């Protein structure tokens, strides 16, 4: 029987690769068990293919549990991320505070992590599924099944990936036992099955950072606005109180709104909330009134017709504003109010396939925030977790990947200490 690994990392995405690098650099014999055809594939989809890998300011308040985020990420999380990527040779640069690789290609981030793993002599066992788990005498045994011959993604691009996944699905497989003294769980946000295998507590998952389903005022449907983009400010209100606001591009869809500002608010909404859309956030109330008065002098009195807004608002949006202004009294004050506070009635989140993160997963009551070890009695000792599998989520802007890197480094380093 082969010697057990010191550390086996289950899941070779962002956090799993960071965990494996940390463990191996601390001298642990490390492997990654990845069920997909290659490690690092989830990274390729991030930041629209550019990978917004972190943020210049990793404010804990951007995270679901700020105190826990602060404890796990430490006093200088920005330095922790830059030190990882400096050590891997990745150059990054900011766009409005968000950090991207200078190549603006997510492949660069994936590639430096894979090279870092190779240099640290991490074994990557791809296409490998964990079927059952046991623990005895300080060693975990993972019964895994894997293709009998290695299936590789030979070229870049989606078509090559599809071909490789097809080949993996068709490949003959066999089972074997893989042993390790410590296991790091890094299976990402959809982790219920992996948690069940290891008898780790699991909270229901909820897709977030996705579009918001909502109706216009008085049930107005938003079909006519589908595909339209507008710059604006979204203010989330509950029982009249302002809960949060986001500024940016709003993309209208038949079911509601999309775009980064809506994605960020999706972490905070509840059905029954109202989102007020301000189409002129840079104009105070008096400034907007005077803009509208000047417009009346230029193009005539407001007739309640969307064409009056030509050159100022796209026609379909002007139609919606006119309909709402009519309900408010149809005078200039009503128009100003409709432009500053166009109400959207929230019914929930939408398009879950687009969700960037999931809330839920492994609850903090079962985790030691110092080492990220699972403290609740599971099958055995020496089990750690990192990344999105833990109940942590954050706004768009590089915060989620920063969490993946830092929690991965912490769990990997702690797991390496067990050997």
Four-CA torsion 90, 157, 396, 235, nearest 10 degrees: 150
Q: Which of 117, 121, 144, 118 is nearest to 131 (CA)?
A: 144
Task: Kindly give the residue spans of alpha helices, DSSP state H, lying in 224-364.
Answer: 260-266, 285-299, 315-328, 332-340
Per CB under 6 A, 62 contacts ligand FAD: no
Among 25, 29, 35, 253, binds ligand FAD (CB under 6 A): 35
Among 188, 256, 343, 412, binds ligand FAD (CB under 6 A): 188
Per CB under 6 A, 186 contacts ligand FAD: yes
Per CB under 6 A, 11 contacts ligand FAD: yes
Among 6, 8, 9, 15, binds ligand FAD (CB under 6 A): 15
Per CB under 6 A, 369 contacts ligand FAD: no
Query: Could you write out the three-class secondary structure of 89-111?
Result: CCCEEEECCEEEECCCCHHHHHH
Q: Which of 204, 265, 260 is nearest to 238 (CA)?
A: 265
Smallest distance, ligand FAD to C-beta of residue 203, A: 15
- Cα separations in angstroms, 54 against 59, 142, 196, 197, 265: 11, 33, 31, 32, 19
Among 401, 406, 413, 415, binds ligand FAD (CB under 6 A): 401
Q: Are 386 and 15 in contact (CB under 8 A)?
A: yes
* DSSP code of residue 210: S
Smallest distance, ligand FAD to C-beta of residue 295, A: 40
* Cα–Cα distance measured from residue 206 to residue 390, given in angstroms and rounded to the nearest whole number: 13
Smallest distance, ligand FAD to C-beta of residue 318, A: 33
Per CB under 6 A, 187 contacts ligand FAD: yes
Per CB under 6 A, 130 contacts ligand FAD: yes
Q: Which of 108, 141, 101, 114 is nearest to 20 (CA)?
A: 114
Q: Which is nearer to ligand FAD, 235 or 266 (CB)?
A: 266
Per CB under 6 A, 264 contacts ligand FAD: no
Among 31, 164, 180, 404, binds ligand FAD (CB under 6 A): 404
Q: Which is nearer to ligand FAD, 205 or 278 (CB)?
A: 205
Handedness of CA 324, 327, 330, 333 (dihedral sign): negative
Per CB under 6 A, 147 contacts ligand FAD: no
Among the listed ranges 37-45, 86-94, 248-256, 334-342, the one in contact with ligand FAD (CB under 6 A) is 37-45
Per CB under 6 A, 47 contacts ligand FAD: yes
CB atoms within 10 A of CB 282: 10
Per CB under 6 A, 12 contacts ligand FAD: yes
Q: Which is nearer to ligand FAD, 25 or 110 (CB)?
A: 110
Smallest distance, ligand FAD to C-beta of residue 416, A: 18
Q: Are 169 and 120 in contact (CB under 8 A)?
A: no
Q: Which residues contact 410 (CB under 8 A, 6 or more apart)?
A: 22, 72, 371, 372, 386
Helix axes 399-416, 77-88, angle to 10 degrees: 80
* Cα–Cα distance measured from residue 260 to residue 179, given in angstroms and rounded to the nearest whole number: 43
Task: Kindly tell me the number of DSSP H helices and DSSP E strands found in the chain.
Answer: 12, 18
Among the listed ranges 28-36, 71-79, 239-247, 260-268, the one in contact with ligand FAD (CB under 6 A) is 28-36
Among 22, 146, 317, 357, binds ligand FAD (CB under 6 A): 357
Among 36, 246, 391, 395, binds ligand FAD (CB under 6 A): 36
Residue nearest to ligand FAD (CB): 13
Among 20, 22, 29, 42, binds ligand FAD (CB under 6 A): 42
Per CB under 6 A, 392 contacts ligand FAD: no
Number of residues that bind ligand FAD (CB under 6 A): 33
Token pair for 395? 């706004």
Per CB under 6 A, 400 contacts ligand FAD: yes
Binding residues for ligand FAD, rule: CB under 6 A, are 10-16, 33-36, 41-42, 45-47, 51-52, 130, 186-188, 194, 356-357, 387-389, 398-401, 404
């Amino acid at each position: 029987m082969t010697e057990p690994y010191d550390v086996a990392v289950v899941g070779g995405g962002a956090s799993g690769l960071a965990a494996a690098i940390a463990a191996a650099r601390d001298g642990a014999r490390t492997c990654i068990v990845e069920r997909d055809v290659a490690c690092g594939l989830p990274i390729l989809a991030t930041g629209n293919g550019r990978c917004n890998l972190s943020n210049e300011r990793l404010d804990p308040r951007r995270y679901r549990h700020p105190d826990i985020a602060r404890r796990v990420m430490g006093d200088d999380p920005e330095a922790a991320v830059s030190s990882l990527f400096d050590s891997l040779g990745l150059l990054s640069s900011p766009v409005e505070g968000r950090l991207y690789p200078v190549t603006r290609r997510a492949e660069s981030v994936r590639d430096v992590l894979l090279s870092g793993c190779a240099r640290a002599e991490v074994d990557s066992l791809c296409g490998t599924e964990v079927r059952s788990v046991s623990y005895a005498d300080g060693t975990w045994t993972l019964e895994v099944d894997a293709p009998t011959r290695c299936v590789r993604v030979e070229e870049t691009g989606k078509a090559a990936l599809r071909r490789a996944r097809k080949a993996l699905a068709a490949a003959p497989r066999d089972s074997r036992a893989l042993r390790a003294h410590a296991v790091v769980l890094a299976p990402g946000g959809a982790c219920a099955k992996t948690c069940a295998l290891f008898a780790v507590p699991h909270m229901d998952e909820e897709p977030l950072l996705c579009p918001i389903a909502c109706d216009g005022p008085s049930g107005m449907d938003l079909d006519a606005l589908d595909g339209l983009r507008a710059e604006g400010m979204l203010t989330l209100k509950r029982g009249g109180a302002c809960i949060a606001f986001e500024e940016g591009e709003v993309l209208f869809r038949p079911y509601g709104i999309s775009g980064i500002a809506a994605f960020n608010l999706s972490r905070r909404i509840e059905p029954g909330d109202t989102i007020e859309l301000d189409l002129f956030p840079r104009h105070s109330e008096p400034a907007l009134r005077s803009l509208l008065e000047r417009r009346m002098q230029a193009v005539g009195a407001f007739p309640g017709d969307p064409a009056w807004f030509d050159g100022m608002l796209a026609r379909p949006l002007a139609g919606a504003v006119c309909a709402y202004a009519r309900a408010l009294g149809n005078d200039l004050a009503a128009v100003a109010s409709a432009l500053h506070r166009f109400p959207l009635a929230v019914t929930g989140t939408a398009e879950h396939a687009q969700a960037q993160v999931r809330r839920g997963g492994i609850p903090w009551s079962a985790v030691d925030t110092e080492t990220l070890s699972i403290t609740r009695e599971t099958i055995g000792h020496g089990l750690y977790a990192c990344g999105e599998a833990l109940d942590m989520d954050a706004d768009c802007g590089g915060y989620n990947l920063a969490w993946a890197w830092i929690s991965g480094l912490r769990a990997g380093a702690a797991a390496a200490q067990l050997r």
